[in-house]
Every structure is written in C-alpha cells, then in structure tokens.
Amino acid sequence: MPTDTCQRIYGPGLPAVRRYLVNIDSAGTAQVSTHCVVIGSGIAGLRAAIEASRNRKVILVCKGSIQDSNTYHAQGGIAAVLEKQDSFEAHLADTLKAGCGLSDQKVVELVVRQGPGLIKELVEWGAPFDRSGDRLHVSLEGGHSHPRVAHAQGDRTGTAIAQTLIAQVQQRPNIRVIEYFFAIDILTDKEGRCVGVIGLDQHHGLQIIWANHTVLATGGIGRIYRETTNPPVATGDGLAMAYRAGAVLQDLEFVQFHPTTLYVAGASRALITEVLRGEGALLVDTKGRRFMPDYDPAAELAPRDVVSRAILAQMRKTDSTHVYLDIRHMDKDKVARRFPLICELCESFGIDVSRDLIPVRPSAHYMIGGVKTDLDGQTSIPGLYACGEAAGTGLHGANRLGSNSLLEGLVFGRIVGLHIANSPVNDAAVIKHPVIQYKVPRSDRSRLDTGDVRNSLRALMWRNVGISRTGKRLKEAIDIIGFWQRYVMDKVFDDPEGWECQNMLTTAMLMARSALLRKESRGVHFRSDHPRQDERFKTHIEVVRPPDKDWS
C-alpha cells in the first residue's frame, strides 16, 4: 500500500453498519465457483475481465444490462499523449497541477505512459475514434496544455468504447457475463481474505459466486445527489460493500461537480460537455449577461470547480434556478457534426441550439475518492481489487482533469486483470468454499418507504454536502443521515431498492464525515468557512470500519 501520511477516521461517528446486509447460510445458497469475479461492466470492469481471461475463468456481473454504466454515457473523450508536440511530462504536469498536491506521482506516471498503447489497442479492436487524416483527432480541453482528448462519433465516446470492449468480452469463451445480478456484499473468510460475492440473480435468487480474485469496478456515486449526470446504477454500492468488509477507503470528500447539465424540469440531468465551451460556447445569466469574466480570467475555460461555483453564485444573484449556454454564434453545421448527441437531446425538448439558449446548472458528476488501492489495483483486503471510479488510486488528487477518468479505468482495468492472470495462486483448483453463516438480528421496527428516504437523502446531500460546504451544514447532514440510519440500517431487505438505500446512506455518511474533517478548500472540496488551502491538510483522509465486535 502507498505509505502517505494520512488522517484515518475510525470509530464513533462512522456508520455503525453490520458486516452483511442479508442473512447468509452458504451451504443452503445457490452457488458457483470461478477464478475471478468482476463486479461492473464499465470500462474498468470490461478491461479487467478481458485481461484476466487470458488464463483465468472470469464471471462478470452487473446490476443492469451490460450497457448500464457511467462509461456508456461519457461524451467528451479520453486523454492521452497522441501527438508528437505533446509529451508524457506535460500530461503528468497537467494532472499533478489539477490534483492540488494530493496526486500520487507514481500512479500518474503509470497511467499517462500506458494510455497511448491502450488507446491504440482499442483502435485495433475496432473503436471508431474520430480521425484527422491518418491520425486520431485530438481536442483541447480545460486544464490540458496540449490537444490530447481522443473522441469517437463526436460526443459518443463512452458508448463507442463500451461497445468495443463488450464485443471483445463476448468473443472470449473464458468470460461469462451475468446481467441483472445485484451484488449485495463481498464475502470474506475468517482470515479476512475476500472469497467472492453474494448477490441477487434474476433467475436463481440469492447466489454466491466463490472466487479466488474479486474485482470491484462498480463505478460512481452520483445518484446520492439530487442533481447528477450519472445514470441510475451509480449509487455507491461498491464503496459501501468495501467499507462493510473492512477495506480502507480514501478521499471521499472529493466529488467533482459538472458545471453544465441540461436543466429542463422533468428531464434527467444530461451533461453538456465542456468541449462545447472549449469551442466557443458562452455562459450567460437569466438576464442574458455573460458573467464568467467577473469570476475568473479564464472565463468559460476556467476549471470545472471554479465554473460550478460561479454559476451557483450567479444563480443566487439573479434569483434563478439556472443559467444558459449560448452557442447561437457558432457554426451550425460544425456544431451538428461535432455534438450530435447534444443537438439531438436539446431538440427532444424543443430547444433549437442555433436559435435558443440552453438552460444549464451544475450537477454531481464524479467521485474522485474510493477504495484505496496500490499500483497493482489491490485493496487492503487480500483477494479484493478495485479499479475505475470505485477505486481511490491517487491519480486525480483533489481534482480530476477532464477525460482522465476513462483513461484511469482503461489502464487500471488492464493492470488488475494482468495481476490476476499472473497471480501465483494455484488457480487450477478454484477456491475452497469456507462456511459462512450470518444472521441479522431481527428488527421489529415499522416498515419503510425507501423511495422517500432516498429522495430526502439526495436533497440533503445536494444542499449540505454539495458544491460549497460549511462545517455547520456538514454537521447537520451527519446528524440527519445518522438519524435515518438508525431505522434503515437495521432492516433486512430483499430487493435492490432497499440495499441501494442502505448503501447510499452508508456512503453519504462517509463522504460527509470526510468533508467535515477537511477544514480547508482544496481542489473540488470547497469550504466557505475555510476558503483557503492549508498545508496541514496536504494529506489523504482515510475511512475504515471500526474493528468493533458489536458491529459484526
């Protein structure tokens, strides 16, 4: 494990969760065994499965269809050094600068150097990246000192990459995909080693997948917030599962908010990529006044966190629920060619981008922190790996550079898969099945409307653990989440809706606790009561479930 100095939160105040969400009797549960189980079908999980399958049997599970992921929705592109004028040193420097002193330089170097080769491999596998002559076309994005963002089918990069990887997965006989399998908990034996996962399979009910190696690639947490760009699968399940199992998590206070998501009542908060601002889109308030130059010399091209806070401030000033993106002055044909998804989306709400302003506001977008991993993607629990958005590798530090997350998922997905494929464990014999019996104490409290709890939590997180935070509002959030936890966490649910609610509460509490502890502003974490960066906090905040027997 990396040996950074860190503040570690243990004990009172952390969510008092039990070890498993459901009753387990391993002997009486449907079960299968494999060398490796991958939880998640985004870029990280798919890439990990492909690599591990070179000489291991892999089961890949996902809670929706194989396409349901953040990856599928990614628009702008994937960053890598792809032009002669660019360099690894420049990509490294840009990433470290964005990370505000918290990026792990070794991780950044690893990711930056492996990026170009893995994008080349995607091209060989048929990914339809946009081209400029015989080379990939690369765009310039905020925070990058060179054009290095490769994109596919305009703003459909995530879909194109996911489809390419899914096709590769489907060609490999060593990989079995189980869709609509909700992973409830990762299983550990008496020595604390991860031995697989228990979940709800749509055909077989509760099922155990025993595995020598378990990969958490469960993606992000956006759905914990009322306003988010993330699809419904992003409820932070992986983080809560890892926490219950005793893994170390880090950097959970760092949530990136995307400044511009479409704000139309009744529509989901679809992202309007910042490449649009890179190509000339302006931000105006509801009075039609361009306001970004008042907040930052880089105006619309300022970093995401600066633009998000400026939009929020301008919304307050003008007493409005949103601001607008203005692209009416841009070349209509070029916009249609370069941003077909956005044009289509706006059109579906009667917005003609060549004539009308596009209503936007910020939304929760990306979880920077996650399950702490080392350079091989291993977590603090033997046999458990994490990669992609669910992992806390230290790449992004306190702020993520745009288009570096698909890159991280691709690189660390492969690293994890490779480590599993090369593992010295004698996988010829798959894992011995330990006996796991776990009985949840009976709760006699009343039944619950979990939908209501989820909505209330999402509103609370948006209000109190959002773009701009204060100690007072964080404490209030902790108290309220703690109160909800008292009557939600003792229940035994038998459907994903209830388990997601428990996971969301657990993850939200860890995030709020971490944010309260960081009494400074750094990267995406902004405390209006501590508005400056403070060198005493140039450290990671880790959370670990207390080793308290009463809780297991």
| Residues lying near ligand FAD in the complex (CB under 6 A) | 39-45, 61-64, 68-71, 73-78, 157-158, 181-183, 217-220, 229-230, 233-234, 237-238, 271, 366, 388-390, 403-406, 409
- We find the least distance from the C-beta atom of residue 365 to ligand FAD, in angstroms, to be 6
Q: Which residue type, as a one-letter code, is found at position 315?
A: M
Residue 478 or residue 524: which is nearer to ligand FAD going by CB? 524
- We find the least distance from the C-beta atom of residue 316 to ligand FAD, in angstroms, to be 26
Q: Is the dihedral of CA 157, 163, 169, 172 positive or negative?
A: negative
Cα 215–220–224 angle (5° rounding)? 135
Residues forming beta bridges with residue 183, ordered by sequence position: 199
Q: Which is catalytic among the residues 47, 156, 304, 469?
A: 304
Measure the CA–CA gap between 284 and 358, rounded to whole angstroms.
Answer: 10
- We find the least distance from the C-beta atom of residue 283 to ligand FAD, in angstroms, to be 19
360 close to 325: Cβ distance less than 8 angstroms? yes
CA 160 from chain centre, in angstroms, equals 19
**Which letter does DSSP use for residue 378 in this model?**
B
Residue 181 or residue 324: which is nearer to ligand FAD going by CB? 181
DSSP string, 198-261: EEEETTTEEEEEEEEEEEE-----GGGSSSBSS-TT-S-HHHHHHHHHT--EE-TT-EEEEEEE
Residue 405 or residue 514: which is nearer to ligand FAD going by CB? 405
- We find the least distance from the C-beta atom of residue 77 to ligand FAD, in angstroms, to be 5
DSSP string, 10-70: -STTS----S-SS-EEGGGSEEEEEEEEEE--SHHHHHHHHHHTTTS-EEEE-SS-TT-SH
Residue 73 or residue 473: which is nearer to ligand FAD going by CB? 73
Q: Measure Cα distances from 197 to 6, 188, 194, 216, 404 in Å.
A: 30, 9, 8, 10, 29
Which H helix or E strand runs over 284?
A: strand 282-284
- We find the least distance from the C-beta atom of residue 317 to ligand FAD, in angstroms, to be 28
Residue 34 or residue 521: which is nearer to ligand FAD going by CB? 34
For residue 304, indicate whether it is catalytic: yes
Residue 69 or residue 507: which is nearer to ligand FAD going by CB? 69
- We find the least distance from the C-beta atom of residue 200 to ligand FAD, in angstroms, to be 9
Residue 400 or residue 527: which is nearer to ligand FAD going by CB? 400
Q: Measure Cα distances from 246 to 192, 241, 380 in Å.
A: 9, 9, 8
- We find the least distance from the C-beta atom of residue 75 to ligand FAD, in angstroms, to be 5
Other residues' Cβ atoms within 10 Å of the Cβ of residue 403 = 27
Measure the CA–CA gap between 79 and 279, rounded to whole angstroms.
Answer: 17
- For 232, the token pair is 């419904």
Catalytic residue annotation: 304
